[in-house]
Amino acid sequence: MVRALNFLANIFPVWVAAFSGLALLDPTLFAWFKPYIVPGLGVIMLGMGVTLSLDDFRKVLQMPRPIAVGFCGQFLIMPFLGWGIAHVMRLPPEFAVGLILVSCCPGGTASNVVTYIARANLPLSLLMTMCSTLGAIALTPLLTKLLAGQIVPVDAWGLFKSTVQVVLIPIGAGLALHHLTPKLVKAVLPVAPLVSVIVIALICAYIIGANAEAIKEHGGTLFVAITLLHGSAFLLGYFFARIFGYEELVRRTVSIEVGMQNSGLGTVLARKHFSDPFTGICLAAVPCAISAVFHSVIGSVLAAVWRTRMPAEASETDPRDEGATHPQEG
């Protein structure tokens, strides 16, 4: 049973792509999920929180330099890539804001399973995701204000409050549950990754269905922009770690962490802060939803290639393969 649940969670790109494809074919199919988008993301963040312990925070002190490299790559490379691509391609304002917003989000926890498949440094990936998620509480609103504020008005304080609500509070609750109800957490953990994968697939499907006409009209431009964003981020993340002299497995880990975003968070923030006040339509959420599909597919392909090309310093039975985690966000 656990193996089957793990398999279903690990094919997260298939879930996201399938649900999104169905939403394009029938835009009304996932309309029912609209009231559950914010609670759904809360469930995902709660799921991340229950996997954390106070000991994880102590581990950050044991490997601060590679975590700092990944953290800086996450909040330097991605935001300015998003800003640059939006301006060079002259995207419509709503799409430009969405692309910048998702690029300013933290790493997605789906990066952990991609790191596992790639047989890179899984503990480092977990710590990077944790640190970037917590750092995003302040940095996502500030960077979005800095880079997108020249396109549309950005309420940085509102973004900050929303990020606290959908990130900090659920993660804090999950951390408390981890220590206060360990038996309950142990019972829930096997099914939690699959629940989280389905929730993010439903979030993306709703956004794509609600904006199906806009996607059909501008889909080609958006696909190119998002492919450039994530493809460049994977590449630059790898070389960013290489500049600092880190070995191959760390380079791959940083590449994955920089290339994969918490698109679900971007989608929720876009809907709350960049929707049309009269129609309720939110085109800014569209790049975030498409991002979830693209970074999942690119990351999975990259992981499959890297898994077959292990560097000399990694043994065939790498201890990082043990204690695998699973994605809780697309």
pLDDT at 78: 94
Residue 145 has, within 13 A of its CA and on its CB side, a CA count of 11
Q: Where are the alpha helices (DSSP H) in the chain?
A: 2-10, 12-25, 37-50, 54-60, 64-88, 93-103, 110-118, 122-148, 156-163, 169-180, 182-188, 192-210, 212-243, 248-259, 263-273, 285-307
Other beta carbons less than 10 A from residue 163's beta carbon: 22
Mean of pLDDT over the chain: 84
Q: How confident is the model at residue 97 (pLDDT cuts 50, 70, 90)?
A: very high
pLDDT in tens, 254-278: 999 999 988 888 888 988 898 887 7
Q: How many whole angstroms separate alpha carbon 243 and alpha carbon 251? A: 10
More confident residue, 40 or 324: 40
Q: How confident is the model at residue 4 (pLDDT cuts 50, 70, 90)?
A: confident
The domains of the chain, with CATH numbers, are 39-309 (1.20.1530.20)
Q: How confident is the model at residue 316 (pLDDT cuts 50, 70, 90)?
A: very low
Closest CA to 252 of 145, 114, 49, 50: 114
pLDDT at 258: 94
Q: What is the pTM of this model?
A: 0.81
Q: How many whole angstroms separate alpha carbon 135 and alpha carbon 74? A: 10
Instruction: Flag the least confident range among 32-41, 76-85, 87-96, 310-319.
Output: 310-319
